[in-house]
Amino acid sequence: MRIENKDISLIIPTINRPGNVDRLLGTLQDFGYLNRLGFKPVVVDSSMDKLTKDVAKKYFVDYIPAIGMGKSKAMNFAIKQITCEYIAFLDDDIIITNTNWLDNLMSNFTDNNVAYVSGRVIAANTGNEAAKKWEDKGALNKGSRRIEVGNKFFNKFRLKGVPVNLVTMGANHVVRREIINEIGAHDEKFGPGELIEGAGADLDLTYKILKNGYSIVYDPNAIVAHHHPDSLKELRSKLFLYGISDTAIHMKFLIEFKDIRSLFQLIYRPAQNLWRMFKSLLGKYPLSADMLMAGIIGNLIGPIKYIKYKNYFNKSK
């Protein structure tokens, strides 16, 4: 089903990766998205040089310089400059693989209570050991089952904390613009290039959406592909940073939103990685013990880092 009557901007945040942007825009062009009425890709570039600007010019897409900004600041900066009913987001290491990606996402906005729709992310490459191991673990792929959650889901977890990660996919999602205006955009303490790296800003956004009574949909038919890490060192670093943000964001939920349920997540996250490490030592888990240890260390650092930088962030305002 083609969704024609929607005004959609696509934000592509990037820094120092013109090759990635070229690859993504090339696949958008190959599948006809750049000719689509009402669809406006916007490259938001934190680089110091003009290489990415030249790529955007090559494909005749909008370009917003965000020099020196981390990812969350850059996206928030771009959001203030664009006008549209819906805002889509793709990371620069994503590629488009079909003509139905956007229509499948947009078809889920069936009523005004649906605020956020995420899609499935599969592997674009498994030709190296790091990419294969991460994909075997699950990587960014949330599976083949459609999920729709709302206020009942948010209030369901009396002791466990809200598992917003089940429906959050920062690399592939669409949000209603009016919802961002209402609840606020990305927490600028979190995200690549920010004080607390990792995926915390994405988890924070979906938490706020559910907290304010709106619904979220994960649609496995809205498929894009992701270029996984090329080396084990890169994968280990990614798991470390994810480990930090996984607990730092629950520290935020606990302190700023007074959500005591997040206490469970602060304990559960490192315990889960510890159990996975034990399974790995028995040869029953795809990731190695040292990678899982990196995640555990990140989990333990996360709450401390959040408290440290929350105070820093408040003082700097």
pLDDT mean for each 10 residues of the chain (317 residues): 66 98 98 95 97 98 96 97 94 97 96 97 93 92 96 88 94 97 96 95 97 98 96 96 96 96 95 96 95 97 92 58
Which residue segment(s) compose the domain that 238 sits in? 234-316
pLDDT of residue 159: 81
Question: Are residues 274 and 226 part of one domain?
Answer: no
Neighbouring residues of 182: CB distance < 8 A, sequence distance ≥ 6: 212
From CA 108, how far away is CA 217, in angstroms rounded? 7
Question: Are residues 255 and 222 part of one domain?
Answer: no
Amino acid identity, residue 271?
A
pLDDT of residue 310: 79
From CA 147, how far away is CA 31, in angstroms rounded? 27
Per-residue b or e along 227-260, where b marks 16 or more CB atoms closer than 10 Å to that residue's CB: bbbeebeebbbbbbbbbbbbbbbbbbbbeeeebe
Phi, psi of 71 (to 5 degrees): -60, -45
Token reading at 87 = 């805002």
| Element housing 8 (H / E) | strand 8-14
We report the CATH number of the domain holding residue 124 as: 3.90.550.10
Query: Is 3 among the domain residues?
Result: no
Question: Are residues 180 and 40 part of one domain?
Answer: yes
Helix-, strand-, coil-residue percentages of the chain, each rounded to 5: 45, 20, 35
| Element housing 87 (H / E) | strand 86-90
pLDDT of residue 126: 87
Q: Are 117 and 173 in contact (CB under 8 A)?
A: yes
Query: Is 122 among the domain residues?
Result: yes
Q: Are 135 and 246 in contact (CB under 8 A)?
A: no
Query: Is 61 among the domain residues?
Result: yes
Query: Is 225 among the domain residues?
Result: yes
Query: Is 161 among the domain residues?
Result: yes
Domain limit, last residue, from 230, 259, 288: 230
Q: Are 114 and 213 in contact (CB under 8 A)?
A: no
pLDDT of residue 314: 59
pLDDT of residue 83: 87
pLDDT of residue 160: 86
pLDDT of residue 309: 87
DSSP state of 196: B
Question: Are residues 81 and 140 part of one domain?
Answer: yes
Query: Is 202 among the domain residues?
Result: yes
Considering its fold, how many domains does the chain have in total? 2
Query: Is 1 among the domain residues?
Result: no
Question: Are residues 224 and 243 part of one domain?
Answer: no
Question: Are residues 303 and 193 part of one domain?
Answer: no
Domain limit, last residue, from 200, 230, 260: 230
Domain limit, last residue, from 178, 202, 230: 230
Question: Are residues 304 and 155 part of one domain?
Answer: no
Question: Are residues 170 and 36 part of one domain?
Answer: yes
Question: Are residues 264 and 219 part of one domain?
Answer: no
Question: Are residues 118 and 15 part of one domain?
Answer: yes
Query: Dihedral angle at the C-alpha atoms of 35, 24, 120, 42, nearest 10 degrees?
Result: -60
Phi, psi of 174 (to 5 degrees): -130, 140
Question: Are residues 281 and 151 part of one domain?
Answer: no
Query: Is 175 among the domain residues?
Result: yes
Question: Are residues 256 and 211 part of one domain?
Answer: no
